[in-house]
Amino acid sequence: MSDWTPEAGTPPVSPPEDVSTPDEPDLPQEGPVADAPSFEPAEPAPLGVERTPTGRAEVDALLERLADADHLPADGHTAVYEDVHRGLKDALTSLDARPAGDARPAAAPGPPRPGPTPAYDNTHDHRS
């Protein structure tokens, strides 16, 4: 880019092709530039995240499934993550299930109810 501007009323004229400005370094006009960045996606590579066993076989198997995403391109990660999320959600839901024969009623949905209101504390004589 340069500061060159035509005077008012004159037709536009292009600057000569062989003139370079300080803002535009001389680059080779033909052939690839040796240090040009590649715009191709990188190959899949493991992240190297260490997984600590939880002690629950079902959960550990799901966490190991996350390693499958290491070998897939980015657009394949979603299916793995959704599968693992679904499995972990099912595992958590199963923890809330009551065993057969448990006669206790299930808690009502919604926010917890406040406890009983304490009686007036008249143990202190509030005289001055």
pLDDT digits over 108-123, tens only? 677 777 777 666 666 6
Distance of CA 39 to the CA centre of its chain: 22
Q: Which residues of 57-81 are buried (b: 16+ CB within 10 A; e: fewer)?
A: eebeebbeebeebeeeeeeeeeebe
| C-alpha radius of gyration, the chain, whole number | 35
- pLDDT at position 36 is 75
- pLDDT at position 25 is 57
Q: List the chain residues with pLDDT less than 70.
A: 1-8, 10-35, 100-108, 117-128
- pLDDT at position 82 is 95
- pLDDT at position 106 is 62
- pLDDT at position 112 is 73
- pLDDT at position 21 is 55
> H/E/C letters for each residue in the chain?
CCCCCCCCCCCCCCCCCCCCCCCCCCCCCCCCCCCCCCCCCCCCCCCCCCCCCCCCHHHHHHHHHHHHHHHCCHHHHHHHHHHHHHHHHHHHHHHHCCCCCCCCCCCCCCCCCCCCCCCCCCCCCCCC
